[in-house]
Amino acid sequence: MHPGREWFTVLSGTARLQLGERTILVQAGGAAESSTMTPHVIGAHDGPVEILTILDHDGERAHLHAPDDALPD
């Protein structure tokens, strides 16, 4: 969990979006949007999946940057 919002669209295959206790399958051509304050995981379902993801500023920091304590001195 982290502050922010995420959006993704499935380009090919089927994505499995786990939001807390809920599982949502998103097929090619479909899209999803969610608050990242809910525990979440995006993965492949029954084979490879290709997704295009958009992260807001907080989501970008959480996914694309190392935590401050992991940076070299």
CA 39 to chain centre: 10
In this prediction, residue 60 carries a pLDDT of: 59
The number of folded domains in the chain is: 1
Q: What is the pLDDT of residues 12-60, one digit of tens each?
A: 999 999 998 999 999 999 999 988 888 888 999 999 999 998 887 766 5
Q: Which domain holds residue 38?
A: 5-70
Tokens (6 digits) for 25: 């399958």
> What is the separation of C-alpha 5 from the centre of its chain, rounded to a whole number of angstroms?
9
Structure token digits, residue 54: 């958009």
DSSP structure string for 25-50: EEETT-EEEEETTS-EEEEESSS--E
Over 70: is that where the pLDDT of 11 sits?
A: yes
- The answer, yes or no, to whether residue 72 has pLDDT greater than 70, is no
